Amino acid sequence: MTGTTQDDYTDRYARRVRGMTTSEIRALFAVASRPEVVSLAGGSPYIAALPLDAVGEMMGRLATELGTTSLQYGIGQGTMELRERICEVMSLSGIDAATGASPDDVVVTVGGQQGLDLVARLFLDPGDVVLAEGPTYVGALGVFQAAQAQVRHVAMDADGLVPAALEEAVVAAAGRAKFLYTIPTYQNPAGVTLTDARREEVLDICERHGLLVVEDDPYGMLSFSDEAPRPLRSRRREGIIYVSTFSKTFAPGLRVGWVLAPHAVREKLVMASEANILCPSAFAQGAVTQYLSTMPWREQIKTYREIYRERRDALLDALRDLMPAGTTWTRPEGGLFVWATLPEGLDSKAMMPRAIAARVAYVPGTGFYADGTGRQNLRLNFSFPPPDRIREGVRRLAGVMEQELAMRAVFGPTPPPRRRGHAGADTPGPDLA
Ligand code: PMP
């Protein structure tokens, strides 16, 4: 089939694939990764902070000394050794034997992302409703969309998900909601955290309505203080599927995450995973197991937290000093992201080409909603760029916003048409075509 075009395939795609479109993040990465661009767009941990030599030696030994198992197939659920280690990690957040957590109910996955995909495969039929924070994690939206589910967003404020809005959404879904998908701690993208009082309220509402909770917790251990809220799963034994990952506490390149499922669900979860990937990588599991057994992983998490706290401060200070009046933003107590709300009339998606031309990248808020809202918002990452680059990025962004506001004052709320492929009259920059 040489010379075929996209159109030749359009009618062949399965229904679940037809709604797939390029995500904002994917389209941006190509441009944002150029060295001259300050990227506040990604979500990458600062891997340079790892002791890479020691990790390299450890992985070398994993091949030379343990290669006959680490380079072999494994079992679908993941190795017992790693599942035991995962239980030790979870016990630091209060998810322990006393709350019913056991290695038997842990399923090792290819990152948290596969965990979310498995949950969707298990519970979602086309047309089912998923309740999720608005905004929510773009990768989860992709999973729910591929399952042909309908995402209904539930409002958040600085204290996280709003319980009254959740109650209303559950009632409005009239029994069609399969689960609540939530990132209660250091949320991606909003950077907010569900308060303790609200955690109980949210759990009570879900219990009362028989609504399953999918708790996604990649950032819970990345607190900027000594007080981190306890996960939902540490508060209830049943009714919660807990998803987490080593991507943010160790390294995303290994692609190791896990699901802690209610006992009744675990078997189906393993079957779904086997159908999907046969088994998670024995080598990657071995690397995480060795890392947790022989290296100072708790110290490493502390290192990440310190680096990110410094960078969070750099971002918040720069926003305070440089943003135009009318801009607001969240103040994360952990995690990787700040969520900003632009002054009335600015459109983060429309502004993006000019921002790239000014050599700064962010993710427009629309990527984090299933319904196209979020034009007045953007997500800023502070884990990857060093503090001086963060400040420079905010300076560039503020310049673009000032320009947009000035144009708006002259031309009114609708920006004048721009020539295609041109990044802006007075800021010629990289070709965005
Ligand atoms: N959930 C959330 C909220 C995330 O932000 C991410 C990654 N950015 C994931 C899940 C998936 O992470 P991974 O597959 O790397 O474990």
Q: Kindly give the distance from the C-alpha atom of residue 196 to the centroid of ligand 1, in angstroms, as a whole number.
A: 23
- Spans of the chain below 70 pLDDT: 1-3, 22-29, 413-433
Q: Kindly give the distance from the C-alpha atom of residue 7 to the centroid of ligand 1, in angstroms, as a whole number.
A: 32
Q: Is 43 in the pocket of ligand 1 (CB under 6 A)?
A: yes
Q: Kindly give the distance from the C-alpha atom of residue 43 to the centroid of ligand 1, in angstroms, as a whole number.
A: 9
Place of tokens 């709604």: 19
Q: Residue 155: name the closest of 177, 175, 136, 129 by CA.
A: 136
Q: Residue 290: name the closest of 58, 3, 120, 108 by CA.
A: 58
Contacts of 193 (CB under 8 A, 6+ apart): 159, 160, 184, 185, 186, 187, 229, 332, 333, 334
Rounded Cα distance between 73 and 283, Å, is 9
Q: Is 216 in the pocket of ligand 1 (CB under 6 A)?
A: yes
CA nearest ligand 1 atom 12, residue: 112
For 426, counting Cβ atoms within 10 Å of its Cβ (0-12 exposed, 13-18 middle, 19+ buried), the class is: exposed
C-alpha 48: how far from chain center? 20
Q: Over the stretch 23-78, which tens digit does the pLDDT of each residue have?
A: 555 666 677 778 999 999 989 999 999 999 999 999 999 999 999 999 999 999 99
Rounded Cα distance between 134 and 161, Å, is 9
Q: Is 185 in the pocket of ligand 1 (CB under 6 A)?
A: no
Best mutation site among 25, 110, 117, 137 for ligand 1 pocket (most ligand atoms within 8 Å of CB): 137
Q: Is 139 in the pocket of ligand 1 (CB under 6 A)?
A: yes
Rounded Cα distance between 50 and 48, Å, is 5
Tell me what pLDDT residue 180 has. Answer: 98
Tell me what pLDDT residue 34 has. Answer: 87
Tell me what pLDDT residue 9 has. Answer: 86
End-to-end CA separation in angstroms for the chain: 27
Rounded Cα distance between 75 and 86, Å, is 16
Q: Which two tokens stand for residue 298?
A: 């708790």
Q: Is 186 in the pocket of ligand 1 (CB under 6 A)?
A: no
Tell me what pLDDT residue 5 has. Answer: 79
Q: Kindly give the distance from the C-alpha atom of residue 8 to the centroid of ligand 1, in angstroms, as a whole number.
A: 34
Cβ(287)–Cβ(67) under 8 Å?
no
Cβ(122)–Cβ(265) under 8 Å?
yes
Tell me what pLDDT residue 431 has. Answer: 30
Q: Is 215 in the pocket of ligand 1 (CB under 6 A)?
A: no
Q: Is 109 in the pocket of ligand 1 (CB under 6 A)?
A: no
Q: Is 245 in the pocket of ligand 1 (CB under 6 A)?
A: yes
Cβ(163)–Cβ(205) under 8 Å?
yes
Helix axes 138-146, 111-123, angle to 10 degrees: 30
Q: Kindly give the distance from the C-alpha atom of residue 218 to the centroid of ligand 1, in angstroms, as a whole number.
A: 6
Rounded Cα distance between 401 and 295, Å, is 45
Best mutation site among 143, 194, 245, 250 for ligand 1 pocket (most ligand atoms within 8 Å of CB): 245
Q: Kindly give the distance from the C-alpha atom of residue 115 to the centroid of ligand 1, in angstroms, as a whole number.
A: 10
Q: Is 45 in the pocket of ligand 1 (CB under 6 A)?
A: no
Rounded Cα distance between 207 and 201, Å, is 10
Q: Residue 382: name the closest of 324, 433, 340 by CA.
A: 340
- Secondary structure of the chain in the HEC alphabet? CCCCCHHHHHCCCCHHHHCCCCCHHHHHHHHHCCCCCEECCCCCCCHHHCCHHHHHHHHHHHHHCCHHHHCCCCCCCCCHHHHHHHHHHHHCCCCCHHHCCCHHHEEEECHHHHHHHHHHHHHCCCCCEEEEEECCCHHHHHHHHHCCCEEEEEEEECCEECHHHHHHHHHHHCCCEEEEEECCCCCCCCCCCCCHHHHHHHHHHHHHHCCEEEEECCCCCCECCCCCCCCHHHCCCCCEEEEEECCCCCCHHHCCEEEECCHHHHHHHHHHHHHHHCCCCHHHHHHHHHHHHHCCHHHHHHHHHHHHHHHHHHHHHHHHHHCCCCCEECCCCECCEEEEECCCCCCHHHHHHHHHHCCEECEEHHHHCCCCCCCCEEEEECCCCCHHHHHHHHHHHHHHHHHHHHHHHHHCCCCCCCCCCCCCCCCCCCCCC
Question: The pTM is what?
Answer: 0.93
Best mutation site among 26, 118, 194, 247 for ligand 1 pocket (most ligand atoms within 8 Å of CB): 247
Cβ(39)–Cβ(361) under 8 Å?
yes
Q: Over the stretch 112-134, which tens digit does the pLDDT of each residue have?
A: 999 999 999 999 999 999 999 99
Tell me what pLDDT residue 29 has. Answer: 63
Q: Kindly give the distance from the C-alpha atom of residue 377 to the centroid of ligand 1, in angstroms, as a whole number.
A: 21
- Secondary structure of 77-99 in the HEC alphabet? CCCHHHHHHHHHHHHCCCCCHHH
Atom of ligand 1 nearest to the CA of 112: 16
Q: Kindly give the distance from the C-alpha atom of residue 254 to the centroid of ligand 1, in angstroms, as a whole number.
A: 13
Tell me what pLDDT residue 432 has. Answer: 30
Q: Is 111 in the pocket of ligand 1 (CB under 6 A)?
A: yes
